[in-house]
Amino acid sequence: MPEHHYLDHAATTPALPEVIAAVAQQSAVAGNASSLHTAGRAARRVVEESREIIAGALGCGPSEVIFTSGGTESDNLAIKGTYWQRRAQDPRRTRLIVSAVEHHAVLDPVEYLVATQGATVDWIEVDSFGRADPSQVRELIERDPESVALVSMMWANNEVGTVQPVADVAAVAHEFEIPFHTDAVQAVGQLPVDFAASGADLLSLSGHKFGGPLGVGVLLARRDVKLVPLTHGGGQERQLRSGTLDVPGIRGLAVACEHAAANLLATQQQLMSLRDKVIRGALAIGHGIEVSGPHEPGDVIQRLPGNVHLRVPGCDGDSLLYLLDAAGIECSTGSACQAGVPQPSHVLLAMGIPQSQARGALRLTLGHTSTEADVAAFLDALPAAVERAQRARVATGAGR
């Protein structure tokens, strides 16, 4: 069996050792954070101390931290909760303005509201690098400002790694007193994420994308933002997210957030260096390989430092993925939530990339366990995998 090299950190990143230790330690302690006895108060203290740590790492107030099960729940609460609240206040507020390259955790709630709740949606287009233009957001709002319920744009794209101008878009939305939401699931841990400075009203994140536990995340929500909750019950988390709090997971998330903030610059440099070596090596191999999104060497402003997205002509991404996996390289063709769906990426199509090219996509994402050996192993395995995948496509006639 070949040695395994994990290059799919955008799907999930291994938990940090200190996170594992914190979760294990807290899991051995009984106590519901809503109980009033000694054990309950101790659990509540862990939750509130964790809330303060997370707030300090993300530039927000502790009261703005709403614990959830992860990015998908946070996105759903932000989008549906805002839409229902705004429409209840003003029946004209039925329009959503959303970027065309969002994760399905945003796209699917939007489509649900369109299909069942009377919403309409205007899509923010992107250029060939996957970047949105704030001026287009202004144009979309100005068509009928009084009808807009929410503007939503991700901080950084999960497939091609493009970083969006979220602060500029937030400023445009606020000119018209429209709330702005950003899915920052891929950004936290790789980019400086400051909630207050960004101007966002709502921000989603997920712990397992930056060394935290699976199954715990946060929706940052400004105190003046009003939302209709998705769930009702005990009224926890400002009555926005009922349910018994996952105290071990929350403690682990706080440890991961603190680590991410303290080590951000070193993390950026490490990941950027490895990313640029992957890109240089892949382009040097030839075979017509191209890079999606902005890819200036040393850039940690326009592209996530840990993201590499390649397009390999004349082959199917799934075939390439399986061949690489057989060689011990674990990567993906795009979002893990869409794995196995035989359709070209909506992100690549929105960037103007033809379907024929979009089908040959390969995404490699780096994280805290990534090494030079991982990069070398991938570059060693890539030429043979590409040749076999291209031959297979020709043999089946799929390349015609």
Residues acting as catalytic residues: 337
Name the packing angle between helices 17-27 and 247-262 (round to 10°). 160
193, 197, 199, 205 alpha-carbon torsion, rounded to 10°: 20
Between strands 148-152 and 95-99, the pairing is: parallel
Report DSSP letters for 156-186, one per residue: B-TTT-BBP-HHHHHHHHHHTT--EEEE-TT
Residue 301, classified by CB atoms within 10 Å of its CB into exposed (0-12), middle (13-18) or buried (19+), is exposed
Q: 98 phi and psi, to 5 degrees?
A: -140, 145
Query: What is the C-alpha separation between 73 and 293, in angstroms, rounded?
Result: 28
| Partners of 365 in the β-ladder | 8, 307
Could you count the other beta carbons within 10 Å of the beta carbon of residue 273?
A: 15
